[in-house]
Structure 1
């Protein structure tokens, strides 16, 4: 798991061949005016999901993991409160993985909470169980989905 500011993105471009394009999209796109929804960048290998919603309460948080995609979650406006837990420490999922949604959900709770303010991003790999949008405010964000292979 990574948490950093977009101004430091070049530190991470070596971590995956598509990260150069992913961070270029974040830096070169007027994200405040892009319509919410799914936007293809490099077909199914790299795409963006733009959302603008009010978050949920911490007691309703669900940890999730993905197998096919790495998430880069970038906050455009507001502050997203997120949680993280190592997948190896999670119990069995209470909502098992399906390939269609590329997600499994866990009943586990985490003690690892952090704020992601506007201008910052997280990177979650398949072994990073994470919960996002744990906030009472409206957050505009983009989740870049990057194919693992």
Structure 2
């Protein structure tokens, strides 16, 4: 897992050509004006999902992981906490291989992700997004799905 500010994206764009395309979308798109929805970047190899939602109590958020895609989650507006942990010792609850997600039951440590910050979650990383920080608030975020 990686947590950083978008100004430091150059440290990570060399991880793969696809990750670089994800950062290019974040940098070259007016994300404050973009509508919620799915945006193709490189067909199914790299695409973006723009979301707007209210944060929730931690117990109302699911611990999830992916096997076919890496997530770059960039907070456009707002602040949220994200639970983070690895797959080690987590109880698998549900898997949808076609949609590339699995839900788990287990503990996670909370990190604060503010406007202008991003996370990168790899297949061994589990994450619990959308958790309220100090109070329930509106968040706008883009999730770049990067096929492995």
TM-score when scaled to structure 1? 0.94
Inter-partner Cα distance in structure 2 for 1:145 and 1:66: 10
Q: Equivalent residue of 1:132, what SS? A: strand
Inter-partner Cα distance in structure 1 for 2:100 and 2:41: 19
Inter-partner Cα distance in structure 2 for 1:109 and 1:88: 11
1:80 deviates by 1.7
Q: Which residue of the other structure, out of 94, 100, 103, is the alignment partner of 1:102?
A: 100
Q: After the TM superposition, which segments of 4 or more aligned residues of structure 1 sit over 4 Å from their partners? A: none
Unpaired segments of 5 or more residues in structure 2?
A: none
Inter-partner Cα distance in structure 2 for 1:71 and 1:10: 17
Matches within 5 A, 1:1-149: 1-91=1-91, 93-95=92-94, 97-110=95-108, 112-135=109-132, 136-148=136-148
Deviations 1:71-90 (A, max 9, x none): 00000000021010111231
1:38 deviates by 0.4
Inter-partner Cα distance in structure 1 for 2:4 and 2:73: 11
Unpaired segments of 5 or more residues in structure 1?
A: none
Inter-partner Cα distance in structure 1 for 2:105 and 2:98: 21
Deviations 1:16-37 (A, max 9, x none): 2211111111111000111101
1:128 deviates by 0.3
Q: Equivalent residue of 1:88, what SS? A: coil
TM-score when scaled to structure 2? 0.94
Root mean square deviation, CA, Å: 0.9
